Amino acid sequence: MNKQIELQDLGLKDYKETWDYQEHLFKGIVDVKIMNRREDAGLKTSNYFLFVEHPHVYTLGKSGDISNLLVNEDQLKAKDATFYKVNRGGDITYHGPGQIVGYPILDLDNFFTDIHKYLRFLEEMIILTLAEYGLKAERSEGETGVWLDVGTPFARKICAMGVRASRWVTMHGFALNVNANLGYFDLMIPCGIKGKAVTSLNVELGVKHVDESEVKEKLLKHFKTLFEADFLKR
């Protein structure tokens, strides 16, 4: 089992380019697994963790409803935003500047073969990170992601999640609002859940800007502990 994870910070990168790159890494891992199964090659599979920030984009998961996007193509262009249907779980999600997006592309055979546990670990990484900023973040029953003030009229989502897995290899991941422009969330029904608000870390802390590099360090620290992994920086 290979618990080393190659860490790549892609900076600001187009969504479709990043999606294609994820598919490339994903396919490489799957191809090795197929070779191992057919030829008993005994090759180690790789693991990756991509940090990225996207220009304004809306993505719709396999089970999503297009009616949850509240604007047409012309209105998207006016907002300098794009739209893609993607092969992850979940409904509609927004990505944009000021948001930390993480794409773990892991062979779960190197860790544990349990998608439910995988999602809970991703949520726990976010919850532990936000706790370091004095925020009590929680899961909301039946709703993937991380929330604040669950069970109250003030419930609001701070981190969205949607993953794909095949042959126990993962892709896609999480989007944590750190310094996000929340106005862009008004153009959709977030994750298809009506009547729930969205928030960002800087808003919750009452500051103009949160150091995103510091947040990334905290995320990686908790990910490393939860997954008992080691990071190799590219």
Residue of 191, 198, 201, 210 with catalytic role:
191
Catalytic residue check, 191: yes
36-68 burial string, b = 16+ CB within 10 Å, else e?
A: eeeeeeeeebbbbbbbbbbebbbbbbeebeeeb
Query: Phi and psi for 212 in degrees, rounded to 5?
Result: -70, -30
Q: List, as residue ranges, the binding site.
A: 88-95, 160-162, 173-175
Return the H-helix or E-strand segment holding 134: none
For residue 146, the cross-strand partners are 159
Q: 3-class DSSP state for residue 216?
A: helix
Q: List, as residue ranges, the binding site for substrate.
A: 88-95, 160-162, 173-175
CA gap 58, 28 in Å, rounded: 27
First to last CA, the chain: 21
- Is the Cβ–Cβ distance between 63 and 90 less than 8 Å? yes
Tokens of 22: 């994820």
Active site residues: 191
